[in-house]
Structure 1
Amino acid sequence: MDYMKLQLLILISFFLFIVPASSSPRDIAILLRVKSAQLDDPNGLIADWNGSAPNAPCSWNGIKCDRRTGQVLSIDFGSFGIAGRFPADFCRISTLQELNLGDNSFGESISSDSWSLCSHLHLLNISLNFFVGRLPEFVTKFDNLTVLDANSNNFSGEIPASLGRLPKLQVLNIANNLLNGSIPEFLTNLTELTRLEIAANPFKPGPLPSSIGRLGKLRIFYARFASLVGNFPDSIKDLKSIQDFDVANNNLSGKIPESFGKLKTIQQIELFGNHFSGELPDMFSGLGSLSRFDASENNLTGKIPETLTHLPLESLNLNDNQLEGEISENLALNPNLSQLKLFNNRFSGTLPQTFGLSSDLDEFDVSGNNLEGSLPPNLCSRKKLRILNLFDNKFNGPIPESYGQCYSLSYVRIYNNQFSGELPTGFWGFDGYTFLELRNNNFQGSIPASISNARGLTQILISGNNFSGELPAEICNLEEVVFMDISKNQLSGQLPSCITRLKKLQKLDLSQNRIRGQIPKSVSSWNELTELSLADNQLTGEIPGELGMLPVLTYLDLASNLLSGEIPSELSKLKLNKFNVSNNRLEGKVPLGFDNDFFVSGLLGNPDLCSPDLKPLPQCRRPKSVSLYLVCILSAFAFILVGSLVCVLLKASKLLPIRSKRKSVWRITAFQRVGFTERDVLDALIEKNLIGAGGSGRVYRVKLKNGQMVAVKKLWAAKRERESEEVFRSEVETLGRVRHGNIVKLLYTGIGDDFRILVYEYMENGSLGDVLHGEKGGLLLDWPRRFAIAVGAAHGLAYLHHDSVPAVVHRDVKSNNILLDEDFRPKVADFGLAKAMRGDAEESDQAMSHIAGSYGYIAPEYAYTLKITEKSDVYSFGVVLLELIIGKRPNDSSFGEDKDVVKWVLEVATSSKKDEGTGHIVTCAGGILDLNQLVDQRMNPSASDYAEIKNVLDVALLCTSALPINRPSMRRVVELLKNIPSARSKTTH
């Protein structure tokens, strides 16, 4: 009998645990009703929701059931791209425990009644959507809710008091919204919280909740950009489980309390960007778990406490403070120290000579202090140091010989010091180098041939030293270099002709040396060069006309040499912001393209150079008059000669057999309905139709026989083998499947035996860069039009990042790649560098082989890591926003040496003081800023325009944050820009 019972129990267990039960027909009906009535599924990810499917609904995409009972436990729509209202009816499934709607396009407000249907859930995720209005009230008890994630929406108003009555809540994330009430004290009632994120909300200025210490189980507290003010409350010491405490970028003040020393579990403290003052407290002796401490951008003074030097640090960041005193030798001996960042403080004295002797230093940054003396010889003793930043100090003496063996180095900036002597030979040529900056020191000696080993180097900036000798030919092996500045040295000899092989160069500055010989003529490889400066040398010979064929050159300075001959007329084809050939031995008539006042200062100092009407140049002598009688005779003779030749040719052609024209073989693809043939296009690719040229090819404006106007890009034939093919493939793969109103349309492609062409819709107003900086100088663009362009371009990029499958990173966002139609509607263009992102971890963190993009627009982390992410595009778009506001190019010379528009805006903001006599005063980047200093006055902005401009400036600065993690997504940027007109109406009202 017992045996029979045992068999029966086994059989029951089999049916309970192995054979799944089916969900109730009611649950299936609810799911199908919500799908058909409330959801828009553009990607078809829930197309398999079919009531007749086997094991429905447990086999449906996004549905998870209990394996034993078959009851629906979870609905997971994470990143499905679904749109609609909040699907509260899902919560009518009584067994549902988790509802994840994160990263979709759900929108509108959520009523408290709808919200209450979900009171039995354990997890509710509505993050990264477009919900608006107030956070819904919890009118019924959510007794089981442990996770509530509503981050990155558009919720506004106060945090509802009922939220503080959720007894089991462990995770609360309401960051990145528009919540503008106060940070309430009742949040500390949620004593089960392990994670609390309230960052990036425009709260009313207020202090941290005084009873925050009640959250004894809290491990993560994230409150950046949360309008926090005042001092830390005493109860901070009671956060016994805290691991990550982040209140950066607020307005907290007072002293950092010693009570932080009681937080034994803490691993990371982020306090940067506040107004803390006084000395750093002696609180670190018991913080054995601390791996990162960042108190930058405050007003701290005094010395770094010695207890800090005994920590098992992985990263220390005290940058951008006003810390004073010497750096302790105990810190130098810390065996676990891998990252030390003390930049932008007031440290003085010398570095301990034991630095690096006992630690695995990976990153060492003490820039922007008052440090002096020699460098520690053992800084790279473990051969792990990658990043070395020493700039803006008073270091002197030679670079230690041991640094010539630091093979791990990849990123070095030691400019603006007093270093001297010769660099160790090995220091020039580490194969991991991507960035080398030695500017403004007293280094001597020659540049050795070993520099050829640094084949990954993208920037070499060594101006303002005493380097001598010839520029070695081995420098031509740096095929990845895009920015080379060797100006203000004592280099001599001839310029290596092979330097023209550096086809990725965007800037070459060899000015203020003693280089002699002629300028190389074979410059056809410099298709990406935008700036060339060879001024103040001893160059001879004529200016090569081939320079006029460089497609994107905008800066040409050849002043103060020994150049002779005429100015080549080919240079008139360039769109130059600066043209300087002054103080040479040039002669002849100034070409028509330079015969205006804008270029006159760059022509002076050439006694034999003349112009018909450009003062103060001497007038050109007019040619002696020729007898009209002689002209008539010669004309008649020429006419007779040409006529006779035509007759001879016609007769000869009748005697010759007719040869059939060779028909070229084409492979064509039409992406839109077109009414033209390949011959219509190819025959029109002539010089008079040329409207532009870039790094990848020439662009023509073509009016077809059917009256349609198109833009045709013909890729450079010289690049066909590799780069031309990559550009062509990238454009086709991206634009061939993309359909969006703010992305340019690809109509047609053609592949012939010796060419590649791409045919696009024609944009009547050219590029945003041309309109802003061209002959009309931005006069066509008032602020409303510029704002509309910003919003439209943001929509296009957001589509690429969030709605395209796979997602696309553009990698070359700039004003010249935003085209404008006849109504000035913007369309993102030029996808030759675009990269599709699969979304997996390997791809999303992929490093490229070289820098792509244009200087001034490139995100700082991309320039030295070569990692491509969507946040790189966000940075570039932020630069475009600044360009729209200021009306100047990102690298305009008016910003000063080595400054781009981002650095300049931040410098103006942080150095400005309020002038009571001016208007439009705003707070920006920690400073008081008069917008009149920034705004392009050609727009003649109104008071209401200034309200919008201020908000767009805020978005631009957010997009250009130094750290990618602080930049918003493009979807978020769109929402921020879309909300600006409403902010404007409130301001003007």
Structure 2
Amino acid sequence: METKTSHFAHPLFFFFFLWFSLIFTAQEAHSLSPDGQALLSLLSDADPYYKKSSPVLSSWSLSSPTPCSWRGVTCSPQQRVISLSIPNTFLNLSSLPTHLSSLSSLQLLNLSSTNISGAIPSSFASFSQLRLLDLSSNSLSGPIPSELGKLTALEFLFLNSNRLTGSIPQQFANLSSLQVLCLQDNLLNGSIPMQLGSLVSLQELRIGGNPYLTGEIPPQLGLLTNLTTFGAAATGLSGVIPPTFGNLINLQTLALYDTEVFGSIPPELGSCLELRNLYLHMNKLTGPIPSQLGKLQKLTSMLLWGNSLSGSIPPELSNCSSLVILDVSANDLSGEIPGDLGKLDVLEQLHLSDNALSGSIPWQLSNCTSLTALQLDKNQLSGPIPWQVGELKNLQSFFLWGNSVSGTIPPAFGNCTELYALDLSRNKLTGSIPEEIFSLNKLSKLLLLGNSLTGGLPRSVVRCQSLVRLRLGENQLSGQIPKEIGGLQNLVFLDLYMNHFSGSLPSEIANITVLELLDVHNNYITGDIPSQLGALVNLEQLDLSRNSFTGEIPESFGNFSYLNKLILNNNLLTGEIPKSIRNLQKITLLDLSFNSLSGLIPPEIGSLTSLTISLDFSSNRFIGEIPETMSGLRQLQSLDLSHNMLNGRITVLSSLTSLTYLNVSYNNFSGPIPVTPFFRTLTIKSFLENPDLCESLDGYTCSSHLMRRNGLKSAKTLALLGVILTSVVMAVVAVWILVARNHKYVVEKACMSSSSTEEDFSYPWTFIPFQKLNFTIENILNCLREENVIGKGCSGVVYRVEMPNGELIAVKKLWKTKKDEEPIDSFAAEIQILGHIRHRNIVKLLGYCSNKSVKLLLYNYIPNGNLQQLLQNNRNLDWETRYKIAVGSAQGLAFFTDCLLFSYLKMPDSKYEAYLADFGLAKLMNSPNYQQAMSRVAGSYGYIAPGKSFLERF
């Protein structure tokens, strides 16, 4: 019996122990003060793991009668919680508990970076003694409660870096004690309440990073005379900068960049004598830079770039003796660079690029001995580079490209021992390259492209071991390329193209194992191509074209596993294509044209499935048939096998479904021409001098007389097509008679004058897509090369551009207008029209890009030229296709008014669906300079509209 009792007693004892423990714990929690109970509401939904691991939350013990000993909590002598500050504590709350509002004595609440979401409770308005509220860097959403305007004791309010929406409450005007208001980096909308001008104690007002914040800046903010910081960058604010800002005598930082603000910079800002940072870049500001800004002697940073400011640079800016950064680039400034800027002895960065500044470079700038960056590129500067440049011992980057600077390169550059980037490209420099430059042991980039430099490349180049980019193309350098260049172990880009280099290509270049680009085209280099170049396993582009290389293509070229472009055309190469070419698995362009290569086309070519841009074997001595393996080149867009001795059938080419260009003329091909949709678009020019080639109905057998299966349905259709064709032919003949004598002269003269100004691709770029696009501005710019040009006209040049995903687009680069003309902005007009047009027979504008100099239009790619060319050159167009083109053209024309008729070109695609392009005349409709601008009209794809010269005379 004793045994049974003892077995029963153990669980009964455990039950009573657990019951008493729960009662005791409940009593402990119940004994916690009301403020402590309110704080516990923060823990109820907090992450359990972080409750235990957090040094803050783990200190919140339930055994204490008050929370005053808890970390992050401060109490008054009366044991009331007056401060809760637990920033960077991972609470992971889906909402802020309303129980916190019972902390009636709370003066400070800091829950920043605690991973809280949900809305801000309006019950927080009950914190009548609150002086600081910091809920920044969370995921709070919804509107800011207007009830917060009742917190009249509030001095600091931080709600920045959340997802708050709605407008800024006008009730904030009641926060008469407020000193700091931070609402930046949210999704707020509406305008800035003018009532905020009554917050006379306010020192910081930050509302930037709210892209939906619109409206004008209230002039009433000029009443905030205690304001030290006003930040409203990256918003949709518009209107002018209020002149009342000149009353902000304590203002230290004005950050109003990347907005829609326009108008002039108020001269009144010159009264803000405490100003340190003036950030007004990336706006739409116009007019001159006020000379009054020269009064700001405490100013350290002045960023005005990316506006449309005009006039000259005020010499008074030299009085800003504390200036460290001055950036007025990418504006419309003119005149000379003030020599007085040389007084700025603490200036570290001077950016004046991309303006219309003229005159010479003032030698006084050499007095700015603290300069680390001097950027004068893309202006109209002339005269020599001052020899005093050598005084800039701290200079790290010097950009002068795109000017008209003449004379020689000063050897004094050798004294700029900190220099790592020197770009003097696109000027009129003469003489030789000073050897002193190659003593700069930090120089990483040396760009001297497009000058008239002479002499040889000094052997001392090897001393500059830090060189990563050496770009000397488009000069008149001569002599042999020194073998010492092979010692530049860090060189990635080597551009020596379009010079007068002779002799052999030094095999020592193979020692530069990190080299990615080697371009020596258009020189007088002779001898064999060094087989040692195969050691350049990182090479991505190799261009040896237009020289006098002899011998065979080295077998070692098969080592170029990263090569995407191999260009060897216009040399004297012989022998066969090496079989190792199959290893070039990333090749996109292969050009071996205009050599004396012989033998069969190796079947290994078919394994180069990455070939997408072009394969050119033309003007060689290849024999035999096209290998069947070439059917694998399904992404190839351009194929030229012309002027060889190839034979057999071309049936295999019907598998190349991405082709947009094909030329197999001047060979010995035989058999039927394939009948794929692409082959139906080709003219006789693609097949010339292949007497045994024949047309076919089925692609397998020749047919001497062809008729489409879907022939003309009735005599009415035949009559209609006859009328349409006759009308088109008559119109074309009439136009050509009228323009024959002077058309070519007018076009060439206009194009030459339009393109005479050098263009550049510098940043910043604006890229505006009209639909979702799977490419970037960098993808586009990388393809804007001469080899991709498909047409030129008087309004621009057009490129065929392939995106990384294989998508083809056409990019039209508009010519720059002359500075002394006032033509209508063709770029903006085309955007206004094309950006909103959606019609099946009108070429679609995909988007546009622009920087200060270059304007690009992005179109769908249409492969078949224009209607004029099609009717004149394609004698084999059947009536059904002609009818289809005529109807498509008519449907597109019907979309527009008669006055625009002559400005559009009819362009058939690969299925002979007609598309209308060239909106040249549309951009003139509102222009007072109609006749002047006529000389600039051209096709959107680079073709001159047939009616263009006819219209010029009326």
- TM-score band, normalised by shorter chain: 0.5 to 0.7
Give 1:136 shift. Answer: 3.0
Equivalent-residue separation in structure 2 for 1:390 and 1:887 (angstroms) = 23
Letter paired with 2:641: L
The 5 Å alignment of 1:772-811 reads none
Give 1:481 shift. Answer: 2.5
Give 1:928 shift. Answer: 12
- Report the CA distance shift for 1:473/1:84 in structure 2 as closer, same or farther (over 3 A): farther
Give 1:575 shift. Answer: 2.7
- Per the alignment, in what secondary structure is the counterpart of residue 302 of structure 1? strand
Letter paired with 2:610: K
Q: Structure 1 stretch 428-437 or stretch 413-422: which is displaced more?
A: 428-437
- Report the CA distance shift for 1:232/1:892 in structure 2 as closer, same or farther (over 3 A): closer
Q: In the TM superposition, what whole-angstrom CA distance separates every residue of 1:548-568 from its partner, at most 9, and x where no partner exists?
A: 333322111122222222122
Residue in structure 2 matched with residue 575 of structure 1 by the alignment: 610
Contact kept in structure 1, 2:558 and 2:582, CA below 8 Å: no
Equivalent-residue separation in structure 2 for 1:54 and 1:450 (angstroms) = 80
Residue 592 in structure 1 maps to residue 628 in structure 2: yes
Corresponding residue to 2:427 among 393, 398, 402: 393
Contact kept in structure 1, 2:509 and 2:533, CA below 8 Å: yes
Residue 424 in structure 1 maps to residue 435 in structure 2: no
The 5 Å alignment of 1:940-979 reads none
Give 1:459 shift. Answer: 2.0
- Report the CA distance shift for 1:159/1:544 in structure 2 as closer, same or farther (over 3 A): same
Residue 920 in structure 1 maps to residue 953 in structure 2: no
Equivalent-residue separation in structure 2 for 1:76 and 1:570 (angstroms) = 65
Number of residue equivalences: 668
The 5 Å alignment of 1:215-294 reads 215-294=248-327
Equivalent-residue separation in structure 2 for 1:200 and 1:501 (angstroms) = 50
Residue in structure 1 matched with residue 41 of structure 2 by the alignment: 33
Residue in structure 1 matched with residue 920 of structure 2 by the alignment: none
Residue in structure 2 matched with residue 547 of structure 1 by the alignment: 581
Equivalent-residue separation in structure 2 for 1:285 and 1:252 (angstroms) = 22
Corresponding residue to 1:503 among 523, 537, 540: 537
Corresponding residue to 1:128 among 161, 164, 171: 161
- Report the CA distance shift for 1:324/1:906 in structure 2 as closer, same or farther (over 3 A): farther
Contact kept in structure 2, 1:611 and 1:618, CA below 8 Å: no
The 5 Å alignment of 1:197-212 reads 197-204=231-238, 206-212=239-245
The 5 Å alignment of 1:117-196 reads 120-139=153-172, 141-177=174-210, 178-196=212-230
- Per the alignment, in what secondary structure is the counterpart of residue 154 of structure 1? coil
Contact kept in structure 1, 2:532 and 2:556, CA below 8 Å: no
- Report the CA distance shift for 1:468/1:242 in structure 2 as closer, same or farther (over 3 A): same
- Report the CA distance shift for 1:884/1:161 in structure 2 as closer, same or farther (over 3 A): same
Q: Structure 1 stretch 881-890 or stretch 191-200: which is displaced more?
A: 881-890
Residue in structure 2 matched with residue 616 of structure 1 by the alignment: 665
Q: In the TM superposition, what whole-angstrom CA distance separates every residue of 1:28-66 from its partner, at most 9, and x where no partner exists?
A: 4444435656999999997964643799978989x4758
The 5 Å alignment of 1:342-741 reads 342-357=376-391, 359-428=393-462, 430-523=464-557, 525-573=559-607, 574-576=609-611, 577-592=613-628, 594=630, 601-613=639-651, 616=665, 618=667
- Report the CA distance shift for 1:81/1:492 in structure 2 as closer, same or farther (over 3 A): farther
- Report the CA distance shift for 1:311/1:930 in structure 2 as closer, same or farther (over 3 A): closer
Equivalent-residue separation in structure 1 for 2:850 and 2:69 (angstroms) = 52
- Report the CA distance shift for 1:136/1:529 in structure 2 as closer, same or farther (over 3 A): farther
Give 1:603 shift. Answer: 0.9
Contact kept in structure 2, 1:333 and 1:355, CA below 8 Å: no
Q: In the TM superposition, what whole-angstrom CA distance separates every residue of 1:273-316 from its partner, at most 9, and x where no partner exists?
A: 22222222221332211122111222222111221122212111
Give 1:241 shift. Answer: 0.9
Letter paired with 1:72: S
Residue in structure 2 matched with residue 892 of structure 1 by the alignment: 783
CA RMSD between the two structures: 4.4
Letter paired with 2:835: H
Residue 213 in structure 1 maps to residue 213 in structure 2: no
- Report the CA distance shift for 1:447/1:139 in structure 2 as closer, same or farther (over 3 A): same
- Per the alignment, in what secondary structure is the counterpart of residue 508 of structure 1? strand
Q: Which runs of 5 or more structure 1 residues have no equivalent in the other structure?
A: 1-22, 623-858, 862-870, 943-989
Q: Which runs of 5 or more structure 2 residues have no equivalent in the other structure?
A: 1-30, 89-111, 654-663, 672-760, 790-798, 804-808, 818-825, 837-846, 864-887, 893-954
- Report the CA distance shift for 1:358/1:140 in structure 2 as closer, same or farther (over 3 A): closer
- Per the alignment, in what secondary structure is the counterpart of residue 354 of structure 1? helix
Residue in structure 1 matched with residue 83 of structure 2 by the alignment: 72
Equivalent-residue separation in structure 2 for 1:127 and 1:592 (angstroms) = 65
- Per the alignment, in what secondary structure is the counterpart of residue 398 of structure 2? strand
Contact kept in structure 2, 1:361 and 1:379, CA below 8 Å: no
Residue in structure 1 matched with residue 26 of structure 2 by the alignment: none
- Report the CA distance shift for 1:556/1:216 in structure 2 as closer, same or farther (over 3 A): same
Letter paired with 1:441: N
Equivalent-residue separation in structure 2 for 1:34 and 1:891 (angstroms) = 55
Give 1:935 shift. Answer: 5.5
Letter paired with 2:433: I
Contact kept in structure 2, 1:231 and 1:253, CA below 8 Å: yes
Q: In the TM superposition, what whole-angstrom CA distance separates every residue of 1:247-287 from its partner, at most 9, and x where no partner exists?
A: 11222112211111111111121111222222222213322
Contact kept in structure 1, 2:810 and 2:861, CA below 8 Å: no
Equivalent-residue separation in structure 2 for 1:408 and 1:502 (angstroms) = 24
Q: Structure 1 stretch 308-317 or stretch 881-890: which is displaced more?
A: 881-890
Give 1:245 shift. Answer: 0.7
Equivalent-residue separation in structure 2 for 1:482 and 1:59 (angstroms) = 64
- Report the CA distance shift for 1:52/1:405 in structure 2 as closer, same or farther (over 3 A): same
- Report the CA distance shift for 1:930/1:370 in structure 2 as closer, same or farther (over 3 A): closer
- Report the CA distance shift for 1:305/1:897 in structure 2 as closer, same or farther (over 3 A): farther
- Per the alignment, in what secondary structure is the counterpart of residue 503 of structure 2? strand
Contact kept in structure 2, 1:288 and 1:311, CA below 8 Å: yes
- Report the CA distance shift for 1:470/1:383 in structure 2 as closer, same or farther (over 3 A): same
- Per the alignment, in what secondary structure is the counterpart of residue 515 of structure 1? strand
Give 1:893 shift. Answer: 5.5
Q: Which structure: larger Rg? A: 2
Residue in structure 2 matched with residue 317 of structure 1 by the alignment: 351
- Report the CA distance shift for 1:931/1:470 in structure 2 as closer, same or farther (over 3 A): closer
- Report the CA distance shift for 1:101/1:521 in structure 2 as closer, same or farther (over 3 A): farther
- Per the alignment, in what secondary structure is the counterpart of residue 389 of structure 2? coil
Equivalent-residue separation in structure 2 for 1:886 and 1:291 (angstroms) = 32
- Report the CA distance shift for 1:258/1:895 in structure 2 as closer, same or farther (over 3 A): same
Equivalent-residue separation in structure 2 for 1:600 and 1:441 (angstroms) = 31
- Per the alignment, in what secondary structure is the counterpart of residue 171 of structure 2? coil
TM-score (norm 1): 0.60
- Report the CA distance shift for 1:54/1:488 in structure 2 as closer, same or farther (over 3 A): farther
Residue in structure 2 matched with residue 110 of structure 1 by the alignment: 144
Equivalent-residue separation in structure 2 for 1:292 and 1:173 (angstroms) = 23
- Report the CA distance shift for 1:600/1:383 in structure 2 as closer, same or farther (over 3 A): closer
- Per the alignment, in what secondary structure is the counterpart of residue 284 of structure 1? helix
Equivalent-residue separation in structure 2 for 1:118 and 1:87 (angstroms) = 14
Q: In the TM superposition, what whole-angstrom CA distance separates every residue of 1:566-588 from its partner, at most 9, and x where no partner exists?
A: 12222222231211111122111
The 5 Å alignment of 1:6-17 reads none
